[in-house]
Structure 1
Amino acid sequence: MTLLFPANPDLPEPLLAADEPPVLEVANPAGRGALVLTCDHASNRMPARLGTLGLGAADLASHIAWDPGAAWVARRLSVLLDAPLVLSGYSRLVVDCNRPPGVPGSIPAASAGVPVPGNQDLSEAERRQRFDTLLAPYQAAISHLLEGRAAAKVPTVVLAIHSFTPDYPGQERPWPIAVTHRHDGGLARPLIERLRRDPAALPVGDNRPYNIGDDSDYTIPVQAERRRLPNALIEIRQDGLRSEADAHRWAGRLADAVSPLLPALARIPTPSETPTP
């Protein structure tokens, strides 16, 4: 699913060539499970026109460019729970699909202390092109999916799948998995308690290492909270996602923990709760 936006006359060429991969993927769009899944940092792909943004291969493979393993978890969870899933198609270094446009982390000049040469001194037109080409279609796809479920009266819970590095500079991160939440509609606390029954998940992070904020997050605040849908953002430590088999084990744990909670929590958004894309 790719949404097209008009070309910006201030820029000489589009960000993506016609033969490049799409800006997003919607997997299992007809899924009728209660969950809608998102994976905001699914890929470390770069538009050919931008090269590597001046970074080396090791940086592009690292957590600064994407959430390693998160897409594996999300895809498996989509199958296990018959859940629609929206995945971003390009690196968070080009534009972060989970950041409000204009905040410093949206197109980072540096990430985890690593300068990003290709993000220095961008014009407003260049920034706008990245927003329009990658961020806007991704979030519009999530909106379209949720609006369709509202029209069909399908009860819904939103779960965003992320991963985090175990060795962020200056921090100790002992949590194998974390649940990040704010206005969560009653999902987070019972989900944390169920995960704590699994020895492999201990200690479970509760809003650690991250919090949800209006300046640091987009998908949960805009897509879930404004619709008053139960929601959570899942973070899994990347050293537990070294292989697809590892990721599938975590997806199974998540499915076991969240599926009993869904019947009592899932709800249908009303049009008045649906934000304008």
Structure 2
Amino acid sequence: MEETDWGRHIAWDIGIHGVGVQLQTLLGADLVEQVYSRLVIDSNRAPGHPTSIPAVSDHTTIGANVALSAACRARREREILHPYHDQIAALLRQRQTPVALIALHSFTPRMNGKDRPWHVGILHHQDTRSARIMLDLLRQEGDLCVGDNEPYVLTATSDYTVPYHAEQGGLPYLEIEIRQDLIENEVGQISWAQRLARLLPLYWNAISTAH
């Protein structure tokens, strides 16, 4: 890999850290972040998933992952993947009041030669009720192109955090994808955090009533 590859979307979800930190402050929420690059191990993939430690990402060979031994894979899971998910599970167990899991991600504006028009996407699998509420709220903003299971489709095999922590536990959840060029600087990150801080309580009120 070239040094510049570490700044590309293949290595991390560009901009979402700033959104998450701002949102944590605005809502008083718990925030759990993975500090390792997904090129080391993707914490949103199940242990042993074929793409959890990619040898190639967006046509770029990840040399350190080629022919990686089983022992090295197991070590990355033990030292990086499991502590991350253990922390999420511990926080969910400690909560004494109803809670929703909000998974924050960002996506590259262009992939495989195609532009992605969505400003934001809501991914869902089993809990379509939560998704519908948030999709409606985002569309009512009037200035957004909103993706429904775009730019990705959430499945039990392509995702891990939501299926494992939310769907298995019967928790309401949202998986939110924001386009990276909208949050590549602090101004955009603050703007999106403020928008979500305004909409998420409306979502919570609606889903609490629905439940």
TM-score normalised by the chain length of structure 2: 0.95
Question: Could you tell me whether the CA contact under 8 Å between 1:185 and 1:228 is conserved in 2?
Answer: no
Whether 1:227 aligns to 2:169 is yes
Q: Which amino acid aligns with 2:136?
A: E
**1:197-219 deviation per Cα after TM superposition (whole angstroms, max 9, x unaligned):** 2233x210110110111221110
Match of 1:189 in 2: 132
Distance 1:252 1:71 in 2: 14
Structure with the bigger percentage of helix: 2
Match of 1:38? none
Aligned ranges for residues 109-128 of structure 1 at < 5 Å?
109-128=55-74
- Displacement after TM superposition at 1:241 (Å): 1.0
Higher relative contact order (CA 8 A, sep 6+): 2
What's the offset of the Cα at 1:115?
0.7
Secondary structure at the aligned position of 1:122 is classed as coil
> Counterpart of 2:20 in structure 1: which amino acid?
A
- 2:26 is aligned to 80
Larger radius of gyration: 1
For residue 260 of structure 1, the aligned residue among 178, 188, 202 is 202
Give the letter aligned to residue 165 of structure 1.
Answer: T
In structure 2, relative to structure 1, the CA distance for the partners of 1:87 and 1:266 (3 Å cut) is farther
In the alignment, structure 2 segments of 5+ residues that lack a partner are none
State the match for 2:153 in structure 1: 211
User: Equivalent residues in 2 for 1:15-94 (5 A)?
Assistant: 55-94=1-40
Per the alignment, in what secondary structure is the counterpart of residue 85 of structure 1?
Answer: coil
Tell me the residue number matched to 2:49.
103
Aligned letter for 1:105?
T
RMSD: 1.4
What SS does the corresponding residue of 1:92 show, helix, strand or coil? coil
Alignment equivalent of 1:141, drawn from 65, 71, 87 = 87
Q: How far is the alpha carbon of 1:181 from its aligned partner?
A: 0.9
Residue 42 of structure 2 aligns to a residue whose secondary structure is: coil
**What are the superposed Cα offsets for residues 6-41 of structure 1, whole Å, 9 maximum, x if unpaired?**
xxxxxxxxxxxxxxxxxxxxxxxxxxxxxxxxxxxx
Give the distance between the partners of 2:40 and 2:206, measured in 1 at CA. Answer: 39
Q: TM-score, length-normalised on structure 1?
A: 0.73
Name segments (4+ residues, structure 1) moved above 2 Å.
263-267
The CA deviation at 1:260 is 1.4
Of all paired residues, the percent bearing the same amino acid is 43
Q: Which runs of 5+ in 1 are unaligned?
A: 1-54, 268-277
